Structure formats: C-alpha cells, structure tokens
C-alpha cells in the first residue's frame, strides 16, 4: 500500500472521473455527491502522509516510486518517478484538502452541465497532485500542461461575461511560459546526456548534480523563471490573474488561487533554484526587486478595485510577492516563511474567494458599490469574513502573520534587507485595501434595497468554511506542526543550492554595522 500511495492519491480522482462519466447527465445530485465523495476519499488517503514522522527527521524524498515509462531509442528516457518531501508534502495535502471544499462550494453555483464540471474538477485535481509529486522533469511537464486544459474549460465554459477573453489570456500566458520551460528542459537533458553525467532519464535529482556552465545556466534559469513567474504570478506578467479570477466560477477561482498559483512558487523551489544555483545567484536581486514591486504594486492596485474578486486577485499578487521574497532570501527562515505562506495563501485567499462566491450567489454582482451594511443581515458571514480578512492582512495569531513574518525575517537576514524594508510597508497597504473593502461591503447602513433580504450563510456554507478557519488559527498559533516537517527538506534544499554557488555570500554579515557606522 505504502509503495503505491502516491500513485493512488494522484490517480484516484482520475479514476473517480472515469466512473463519473458513466453517471447519467441529469442525475445532478448523484454527480455532485459522487465527486465530493471521490475528493473526500482522496483526502483521507492522503492523510497518512500528514502523520508520517519521517518528514520531521529526513529531508529526502519519501514514498519513492519508479517505473520506466517512455523510452525512445537509447537517448530519450522518461520515467514515472514520484516522491514527496517536506516541501511538497503540505502542498499535496493542501490540494487534497481544498478540493472537497471547492466541490462542496459549487453545490448551488453550477447549474449547467454539472457532469462536465465535476469531471474537469477531478481531472484538474489529478493534474495538480501529479505536478507536486513528480520527480521527473518530463512527467512534471506533462502534469503541468495537463493542468491547463481543465482550467481553460472551467473558465471558458462556466465563467462570467468576459470568460472567453479571460480563458484564452490565461491559456496563452501560461503556454508561452511553459514552452520556454520545455525548451530548457530538453536542453538540460541534452546537456546531461552529452556530458555523460550519471542521469536517470529526466529525473530531477540527478540533474541537481550537473555542472552546467554558467552562461547556459543563465538562459536556462531565465526560461524556467519566466515560466514560473507567469504562474506565480510576478509583476509584470500578472495581468492574466485578475481577468482569470474575475471570470472564473467560484470553484475555479479557489483552485486557481489556492493551488495553481503555488505551482509557480513550488517550481522555483523544486526546479529553477536547485538546478541553476549560479544563475540564481545572479538573478536574485532582480527577482527580489520584482517581488517587492509586486507587493507594493499589487496592494496599490487592489486598493482601487471596484470588484471584490479583482481586489482579492490583486491581493494575491501582493501575497505571493512575500512568498517569493522569502524564498529568494535563501535561508531557513525565509524559505520556511515562503513555504508556509504558500499554504496560508491557499487557505486565506481560497476562503476569500469562497466568501465572494457566497455573496455573488446571492446577489449576482461583485461590485463593492452594490453592497454595504451586510453585517446587519448576515452576522455569521460578517464574522467569518472578518476572520479571513484579518488572516489575509496578517494579523498575529492568524496564519498570514506567521508566513509574512518568517519571510521577512529571512529577507532581513539575507542580502535582501533593503527590499525587505520596502516589502514590510506591504503590511500597511494590506490593511488599507482589505479593511476598506470590508468596511464598504459590511459596515454602514443598508443603502441598496436589494440587500434587505439577504440570507445568512447556510449550514453547508458554514461547514465548508469551518475547516479553513481552523487552519487559519492552527497555523497562526502553532505553526510548528507544519514547520517541523518542512525544516529538514528545506535544509537539504539550501544545501543543494548553496554548495554549488561559486561565491556564496554569508547571509549573516552585518553590512550596515560594518560599513556605515557613522559615529
């Protein structure tokens, strides 16, 4: 069982999807409950991973699976190689955890072609899980591209008014990036074969030990970096995100925000950084700059949005800036902060999109100006919304703080401290745009008569929010549960990255103290 656990987790939703295809189209209730059951079972199968203590002690890959998959002559060998470590562990669990919630959230929201919707959701889950556990670059690329297709249809079919534009934009943006990545992958493989290094098909771990010349590294890193940056998304390639989010159905937005954006950051951690450490060293200042610009830019733009969903989308840009900044700090704290912030963003922003979904279902509009005074009619909603808002702002005691704080600690320890100072102002802006939005939606008197008859959250909606709230506080108060199992993997990763950097600058050099002691 344990030998094939990852395959089981990854392909269970796909299996479910195949069975789902035999359920009659009109039986919507059964379709929904079946999809929910499949995702729930997937979640329960993946739970043993969470309790496995091996991650707390070992940073290496666990639950390895290895089979030969495709081999073209003796040259190209793609293997089916899976594995999970402390870095992908929580993202994997986040995926299995969020999926049932999204399915549950669509109970009333999706009314046309439920069967197709559910099938695509399940396919999407398989693709995302596969991308997180692949250790073979080619397999990763396969899942990475596979992810795109269901999402494209989810936006394009079940989306809002401008859905085609958004879907195509999303698709093309991502496809451009991934093609660059494909070229880089092939080049790396070609180089590995030519150099006669011991490799294992497209196995990424063997690639870690390649000594790619630094001029090539730069280009390869750029290709990977652009591809992942689009997915993250980092400034200035973020503009697909607001459109995709705004137009996507609630479930699509949640999946997009909670998990798919993490693919980009995860890609940096797993692939771009350890594969090309020298190039990373060169590009870190620029990437960190983009991250910081993203934080400030995302915040300022979010502040002026009139559409709640767009606001949340731009806030994602800002939040992921923190993730990237933490990762680029290249030390334990920053990395752990980035990783935990990925999970946080998944939970908080996922929850925010669900919340927007709730009011959208009730009022069929997302314009802030249409609302106001909802706290009167929807007290439970107001409370949940407030908690999630606070988590998004990063109030201590909620998850957002832990992630932001660790990222910033890491950045301050590294050479990026001046970026970090600027990034810290992001906490101010976050408060401004989130609270302003909250105030305009929830506070005040009810001015719009359409809001008079709004109903508070139903039991289903509360049930689907509660797990998210639990994790908001859990990570906020006792993040060690998660950090403990991340630390060994992060240590190993940093070792991999740093052992190969030519000029590794010690992150703890007190530059300010040495250089500018004025007195």
Partner 1 sequence: MYDYLWLIPFFPLVGFVFNGLFGKKIRNEAVIGGIGTLMIFLSFLVSCGNFFTLLNDSEKVHQQVIASWMSVGQLQIDWGFLFDPLSALMIMVVTGVGTLIHLYSIGYMHGETGFYRYFAYLNLFCFSMLMLVLGNNALVMFVGWEGVGLCSYLLIGYYFDKKSAGDAAKKAFVVNRIGDFGFLCGLLVLFWSLGSKGVWTFNFVEIAENAHLLQTGGVVVTVVTLAFFLGATGKSAQIPLYTWLPDAMEGPTPVSALIHAATMVTAGVYMIARLNGLFGMAPDTMMVIAVVGATTAIFAASIGLAQNDIKRVLAYSTVSQLGYMFLAMGVGAFSAGIFHLMTHAFFKACLFLGSGSVIHGMHHAYHKAHLHDDPQDMRNMGGLRKKMPITFITFLVSTIAISGLPFFSGFFSKDEILWWAFAGERGHWMLWLVGAIAAGMTAFYMFRLVFMTFFGEQKTDARAKDHIPESPLTITLPLMILGTLAVVGGFWGIPHALGNIFGHMPNYLENFLAPVFEHTQELNGLEIKPEMAHSAALEFGMMGVSVGIAVFGIFLAWVMYIKNPALPGKFVASFTGLWRVVYNKWFIDELYAAVIVNNCKRIGTFLWKGIDVKIVDGIVNGTAWAVKGIGGGLRYTQSGFLHNYAMGMVVGVVVIVGYYIFG
Residue 359 dihedral angles phi and psi, to the nearest 5°: -75, -30
Nearer CB in complex with partner 1: 54/431: 431
Which one of 480, 495, 504, 505 is in contact with partner 1 (CB under 8 A)?
A: 480
* Residue 421 contacts partner 1 per CB under 8 A: yes
The DSSP result for 65-129, as a single string, is EEEEEEEETTTEEEEEEEEE-HHHHHHHHHHHHHHHHHHHHTTTT--S-HHHHHHHHHHHHHHHH
Q: Applying CB under 8 A, does 402 fall inside the site for partner 1? A: yes
Contact 400, 328 (CB under 8 A): no
User: In Å, how far are 237, 288, 291, 397, 517 from 512, measured between CA atoms?
Assistant: 33, 19, 23, 32, 7
- What is the C-alpha separation between 32 and 253, in angstroms, rounded? 18
Instruction: Tell which one of 164, 179, 428, 470 touches partner 1 (CB under 8 A).
Output: 428
The stretch among 60-68, 98-106, 278-286, 436-444 that binds partner 1 (CB under 8 A) is: 436-444
Does position 478 interact with partner 1 (CB under 8 A)? The reply is yes
Q: How far apart are the first and last CA of the chain?
A: 67
Q: Is 509 in the site for partner 1 (CB under 8 A)?
A: yes
Joined together, the tokens standing for residue 323 give 């993730």
Closer to partner 1 by Cβ: residue 182 or 296: 296
Residue among 150, 203, 373, 488 that touches partner 1 (CB under 8 A): 373
| Residue 30 DSSP label | H
Q: Decide: 71 and 210 in contact? Cβ < 8 Å.
A: no
Residues numbered 86 to 115 that lie near partner 1 (CB under 8 A) are: none
Is residue 297 a contact point for partner 1 (CB under 8 A)? Answer: yes
Region of 57-65, 82-90, 184-192, 506-514 interacting with partner 1 (CB under 8 A) = 506-514
Site string for partner 1, 144-173 (x = CB under 8 A): -------------------------x--xx
Q: What is the distance between the alpha carbons of residues 406 and 37, in angstroms, rounded to a whole number?
A: 36
Question: Using CB under 8 A, which of 413, 451, 464, 500 touches partner 1?
Answer: 413
* CA dihedral of 470, 59, 147, 79, whole degrees rounded to 10: -150
User: By CB under 8 A, is residue 510 in contact with partner 1?
Assistant: yes
Where along the sequence are the contacts to partner 1 (CB under 8 A)? 169, 172-173, 236-240, 242, 297, 300-305, 331-333, 336-337, 373, 375-376, 379, 390, 395-397, 401-402, 405-406, 408-409, 412-413, 417, 420-421, 424-425, 427-428, 431-432, 435-436, 439, 442-445, 477-480, 483-484, 487, 491, 508-510, 512-513, 516-519
């Amino acid at each position: 069982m344990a030998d094939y656990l990852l395959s089981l987790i990854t392909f269970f939703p796909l299996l479910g999807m195949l069975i789902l295809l035999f359920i009659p189209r009109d039986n919507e209730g059964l379709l929904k409950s079946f999809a929910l059951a499949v995702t729930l079972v997937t979640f329960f199968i993946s739970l043993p991973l969470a309790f496995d203590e091996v991650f707390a002690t070992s940073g290496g890959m666990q639950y390895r699976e290895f089979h030969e998959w495709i081999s073209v002559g003796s040259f190209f060998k793609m293997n089916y190689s899976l594995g999970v470590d402390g870095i992908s562990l929580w993202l994997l669990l986040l995926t299995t955890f969020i999926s049932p919630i999204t399915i549950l959230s669509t109970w009333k929201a999706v009314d046309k072609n439920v069967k197709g919707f559910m099938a695509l959701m399940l396919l999407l889950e398989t693709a995302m899980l596969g991308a997180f556990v692949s250790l073979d670059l080619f397999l990763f690329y396969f899942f990475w591209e596979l992810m795109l297709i269901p999402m494209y249809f989810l936006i394009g079919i079940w989306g809002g008014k401008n859905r085609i534009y958004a879907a195509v934009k999303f698709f093309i943006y991502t496809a451009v990036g991934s093609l660059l990545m494909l070229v880089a992958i092939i080049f790396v493989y070609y180089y590995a074969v030519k150099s006669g290094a011991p490799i294992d098909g497209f196995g990424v771990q063997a690639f870690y030990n390649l000594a790619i010349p630094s001029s090539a590294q730069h280009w390869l890193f750029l290709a990977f970096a652009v591809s992942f940056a689009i997915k993250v998304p980092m400034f200035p390639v973020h503009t697909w995100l607001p459109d995709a989010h705004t137009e996507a159905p609630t479930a699509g937005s949640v999946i997009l925000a909670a998990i798919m954006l993490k693919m980009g950051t995860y890609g940096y951690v797993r692939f771009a950084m350890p594969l090309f450490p020298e190039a990373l060293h060169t590009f870190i200042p620029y990437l960190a700059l983009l991250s910081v610009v993203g934080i400030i830019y995302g915040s300022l733009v979010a502040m002026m949005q009139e559409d709640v969903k767009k606001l949340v989308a731009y806030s994602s840009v800002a939040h992921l800036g923190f993730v990237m900044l933490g990762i680029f700090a290249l030390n334990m704290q920053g990395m752990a902060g980035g990783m935990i912030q990925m999970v946080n963003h998944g939970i908080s922003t996922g929850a925010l999109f669900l919340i927007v979904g709730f009011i959208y279902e009730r009022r069929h509009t997302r314009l802030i100006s249409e609302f106001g005074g909802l706290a009167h009619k929807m007290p439970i909603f107001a409370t949940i919304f407030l908690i999630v808002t606070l988590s998004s702002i990063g109030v201590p005691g909620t998850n957002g703080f832990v992630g932001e704080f660790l990222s910033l600690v890491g950045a301050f320890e590294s050479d990026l401290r001046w970026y970090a100072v600027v990034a810290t102002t992001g906490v101010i802006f976050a408060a401004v745009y989130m609270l302003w939005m909250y105030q305009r939606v929830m506070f005040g008197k009810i001015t719009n008569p359409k809001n008079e008859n709004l109903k508070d959250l139903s039991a289903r909606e509360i049930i689907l929010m509660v797990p998210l709230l639990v994790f908001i506080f859990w990570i906020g108060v006792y993040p060690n549960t998660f950090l403990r199992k991340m630390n060994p993997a992060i240590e190993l990763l940093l070792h991999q990255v740093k052992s190969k950097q030519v000029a590794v600058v010690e992150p703890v050099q007190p530059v300010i103290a040495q250089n500018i002691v004025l007195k």
